Structure 1
Amino acid sequence: MPVRISDCTAEDAPGLAAVLYADWLDPDPWTKLCYGAVDAHEQLVHLEAVIREDLTDPEYPVAFQKARDDDTAEIVGFTQLTHLNTPANERGQVAPIPKPAGYNVPPIRDYYAKMSTARKRVMGDDPFLRKHLPFYLTEMYIKKPYQRHGLGTSLMAWATEYAASKKLPIYAEASEAGEAFYKHLGWKTVGTYSVDMGLYGASPQRASS
């Protein structure tokens, strides 16, 4: 399966959304708790609209890299960097994109409140970061049949090299499972937070980053 990594354009939005959608169709307990009641087609339409805006909105600078299977022309993975202190989920859109019905709002709000607090705790007092906004790794997804073939390592290498070329640090959130992968590539854990899923009707466990 020869795979080529390259820049993304707005025309790639459907293929990029399909990567996210494939992950959403095979949810972990946290995704199921927050988004399990969302209509599948509405979710796919929403994902494509958000990605297309990310790629075309001049007020929201991003850098995307895609992994495309040369044999099938299918986009099988991608990574996205933003150049802001605010995650994509917390910004206003130029043309508001309505979210599908069915979002389980309380745990989502809990998660983003704790994420924001953790980010401010880690980055808020650094005068360099207040003046020079760091990079934030918004997305890094690979379709399951293509996992464990080095694509994640290649995409992460691009992200870190891109940030280094701009002489800026790079931050990301990762699940406990993803943290091991990041550490393997030399990343350091600078903070943690978690949400008690049992408070929202799920089996008692924690979604951690």
Structure 2
Amino acid sequence: MVAKSNAVSLFLIGLVIIMIQPPMVYGDEKQELDRCIDRMDYCESRCISGIVCQYDQCIEDYGCEEQYVKELKEKTGMIDEQKNKGGCLIATAAHGTELSIQVQQLRELRDNKLMQTDVGTSFMDSFNAVYYSFSPTIADYQRENPIFKEMVKTILIPLLTTLSILNGVEMDSEEKVLIYGVGIIIVNIGIYFIIPPTLIWKIIKINKTKRLITAKS
């Protein structure tokens, strides 16, 4: 049971980390691209905060339409057309853009932390072989089904939050990658596989107790 939980947790961590596009390399248009990134995050935050969401119109008002941003990214070397033919992947599709803060943080974790060690690189290489066989289909379904997209985004919140912690720690050795990796795995096992069943069991037990008390009275 524990081994199975560890495997699932490893899958979740790897899933989110590689749901991102290739590393960003800014060029001469960095200032303009940064402006659009900021505006895209702002437009997305309006949806998250509950304000009536008109993301496309919001982006258009700031002159940061998808095609314009794509051209900026191509000029700065942010896009490798050959590598991106498959389109957005799961995390990018969930957050609406690969320029979102969440996706950028994951990209930094992947490239600046995990890929700097043999352990992290081996894990990513092994996981990629499996992940890319199904992720385009899921990402496409997210774009077609807003409800499913929001479900995926919600499910990813705990994992994204715990992984973001790794961006603030030193992971410059194989040992540190293993230590922090195991720690994140344990935390996510608790979040996804221990806490929910425990809460459900307690709720069922409480309801059962209430029914017994009601029946006796």
- Structure 1 length-normalised TM: 0.26
| Greater per-residue helix proportion | 2
Which structure would you say has the larger RCO, counting Cα contacts within 8 Å and 6 or more residues apart? Answer: 2
> Normalising to structure 2: TM-score of the pair?
0.25
Higher strand share: 1
